[in-house]
A and B are shown apart, each in its own frame.
Chain A
């Protein structure tokens, strides 16, 4: 496993775009702490930790999704994946090394936010989030982020070009799936509630209903469906890579 981590991080160390995206992510996350508590008619409507989690959830979904697309499509566009396979990298190993990298990046991104919220919880009176709640929220946001990353990985493997993959990723998550969900709901088809991003969004409730922190956990069905989607995305990517000319 260390070999694959070393293999992937040696590519990233000097990749400027990666560091620019990471810096932007940090700026946005740090910026989220500066947002004051929302209040409605003078009453607190949402706690700061919950708001940070909500903002970070969206930021992670977009930034880590784009980063995944860049990292994977780079390998196709520069034909480095092809060269690695020639040099002795198995196609399964290619998927495994990216899986490890993306798990680590997602963990790092979420870990940082968890730490930040923990500090706010400790230092700010009245905005406390129980440690169990903090861990629970972190797990949810990690699962949600990694689910989006996994979807971005599959899209990149299918389309290979960064611009096409970005277009498909944005179109699907922002337009196509909500439209499909709306159409299915109109027909009262149960699938509407179980489309990928619909399921992932249930992992992170909007903070505006939460005072001071989320109280209702997502159902076990949501977890199972998320894990199922993650598994399907990676399996489909593996099958596609195993059968594709490079």
Chain B
């Protein structure tokens, strides 16, 4: 287990910024942490990276209590890139290398080339654009071949081409078997990169699991039956029924949470309707994300 988080909470006065956040991350998994502004994503990552103190709960990295030594095995960007403005890109990375230990000039060069900043290595950080700063932060996070990458909005401030490049780099890192935790607003990006996702709102966890599990939590079923009129009548009597729409020669029924494909099929059968087709509907991540937020707001 790379990371085990249980019941992590953070209060700022009377405001509960993070509420009982739990997570188990295995080696090689790529987790997306989603949520609107103020949902607790950065608070959660800040606690995991040792810069924010938790009010309650526990996190363990690599099976051990968090420590500075363990953090050297993690590469991270949290919020905006933080470097000395008067130092060049290369000098800033040398300082990071001093902390991480046993990182040579060749590796610094390699990482600067990876993020496309080698030609600008002698320029002071203060003169960099936001996108260049973000790329330098990404190079810094990759320095020392960390086992885990923690990225908070890694494509923030980047143009479309740079976003695609960062995405490719993250995917390449993930293919090397590294574990990644990534908070992002760009849902399409998360859907492309992540194997797992956790959705937060106002500090509370709305959904957590593999991308497929989370996408399937919408409780919509597509079905057909030999007697469609009768099936329609029966579905509308279900205690958890919310909505029914025709979908070609089938119906799309939506229920409250808790209704499974098995229980729905069983209930229809008991009402005398035999289903000829039944499948759970997966929404796109964006649809599912917005839906979960809406449900929670309601």
Q: Are B72 and A88 in contact (CB under 8 A)?
A: yes
Contact across chains for B71 and A87 when beta carbons are under 8 A apart: yes
**CB <8 Å contact, A82 and B84:** no
- In the complex where A6-B98, A7-B99 touch, is A14 in contact with B87 (Cβ < 8 A)? yes
B96 touches A (CB below 8 Å):
yes
Given A15-B86, A16-B86, A88-B72; A82-B96 close (CB under 8 Å):
no
Cβ contacts under 8 Å, B100 to chain A: 87-88
Residue from A74, A86, A88, A243 in contact with B51 in the complex, judged by beta carbons closer than 8 Å: A86
- Taking CB as reference atom, which chain B residue is nearest A245? B52
- Residue-by-residue, is B68-99 near A (CB-CB < 8 Å gives 1, otherwise 0)? 11011010101010111111100100111011
Let me know if B95 and A14 touch, CB within 8 A: no
Chain B interfacial positions (CB closer than 8 Å to A): 46, 49-53, 67-69, 71-72, 74, 76, 78, 80, 82-88, 91, 94-96, 98-100, 140
Interface residues in A, total, Cβ within 8 A: 26
Chain A hits for B95, CB < 8 A: 7, 10-11
Does the CB pair A82–B91 fall under 8 Å?
no
Residue among A6, A85, A88, A89 having the largest count of chain B Cβ atoms under 10 Å: A88
10 residue pairs, one from A and one from B, having the closest CB atoms: A88-B72, A90-B68, A83-B82, A79-B82, A246-B51, A88-B71, A86-B49, A7-B98, A87-B99, A86-B76
A185 within 8 A of B: no
Near B by CB (< 8 A), chain A positions 214-246 give 243, 245-246
Nearest chain-B residue to A18 (Cβ)? B86
User: Is A78 positioned at the interface, with any CB of B under 8 Å from its CB?
Assistant: yes
- Contact across chains for A78 and B84 when beta carbons are under 8 A apart: yes
Task: Determine if B51 and A85 form an interchain contact, defined as CB atoms under 8 angstroms apart.
Answer: yes
CB pair B91 A14 closer than 8 Å = yes
* List of A residues within 8 angstroms of B96 by Cβ: 87
Question: Once bound together, how far apart are the Cα atoms of A89 and B69, in whole Å?
Answer: 8
A3 to chain B: which residues have CB within 8 Å? 98
A87: chain B residues at CB < 8 Å are: 71-72, 76, 96, 99-100, 140
Q: Point out the residue from B52, B68, B74, B78 that lies within 8 Å of A93, measured CB to CB.
A: B68
A37 to B80, CA, bound (A): 56
Determine how close the nearest CB of chain B comes to the CB of A199; give it in whole angstroms: 34
Across the interface, which residues of A come within 8 angstroms of B85, CB to CB? 78
Across the interface, which residues of B come within 8 angstroms of A78, CB to CB? 82-85
In the bound complex, CA of A7 to CA of B99 (Å): 8
Q: How far is the CA of A80 from the CA of B83 in the complex (A)?
A: 6
Tell me whether A243 and B72 are in contact (CB under 8 A): no
Contact of A243 with B71 in the complex, beta carbons under 8 Å? no
Asked whether any CB of chain B lies closer than 8 Å to the CB of A84, the reply is: yes
Give the distance to chain A from B14, nearest Cβ to Cβ, in Å. 17
Can you give 30 A-B contacts (C-beta < 8 A)? A7-B95, A7-B98, A7-B99, A10-B94, A10-B95, A10-B98, A11-B87, A11-B95, A79-B82, A80-B83, A82-B51, A82-B82, A83-B78, A83-B83, A85-B51, A85-B68, A85-B71, A86-B76, A87-B76, A87-B140, A88-B69, A88-B72, A88-B74, A88-B100, A89-B99, A90-B68, A91-B68, A93-B68, A245-B52, A245-B53
B51: shortest Cβ distance to chain A, in Å? 4
Bound CA span A90–B88, Å: 25
Across the interface, name the chain B residue whose C-beta is closest to A83: B82
Least CB distance from A17 to B in Å reads 8
**Do A245 and B46 touch (CB < 8 A)?**
yes
| Of the residues A7, A11, A86, contact of B84 by C-beta under 8 Å | A11
- Measured between beta carbons, the chain B residues less than 8 angstroms from A93 are 68
List chain A residues, Cβ under 8 A from B51: 82, 85-86, 245-246
A90-B68, A246-B52 are known; give 9 further A-B pairs, CB within 8 A.
A11-B95, A16-B86, A79-B80, A80-B82, A85-B51, A86-B78, A87-B72, A91-B68, A245-B46
**With a CB–CB cut-off of 8 A, which chain A residues contact B87?**
11, 14
A3 to B100, CA, bound (A): 11
A127 to B88 alpha-carbon distance, docked (Å) = 49
How far apart sit A83 and B71, CA to CA, in the bound complex (Å)? 11
Report Cα–Cα, A90/B69, bound state, in Å: 8
Q: Once the chains are docked, how many angstroms separate the CA of A6 from the CA of B96? A: 12
User: Across the two chains, which residue of chain A brings its CB closest to B47?
Assistant: A245
A82 to B49, CA, bound (A): 10
Q: Which of A15, A87, A89, A91 gathers the greatest number of chain B CB atoms within 10 Å?
A: A87
Complex interface: chain B residues within 8 A of A88 (CB): 68-69, 71-72, 74, 99-100
Q: Which residues of B contact A14 (CB under 8 A)?
A: 86-88, 91
Given the known A-B contacts A7-B98, A11-B87, A245-B51, are A89 and B68 also in contact in the complex, defined by CB atoms under 8 Å?
A: yes
The reply to whether B53 and A82 contact each other, CB–CB distance below 8 Å, is no
In the assembled complex, the Cα of A246 lies from the Cα of B67 at a distance in Å of: 16
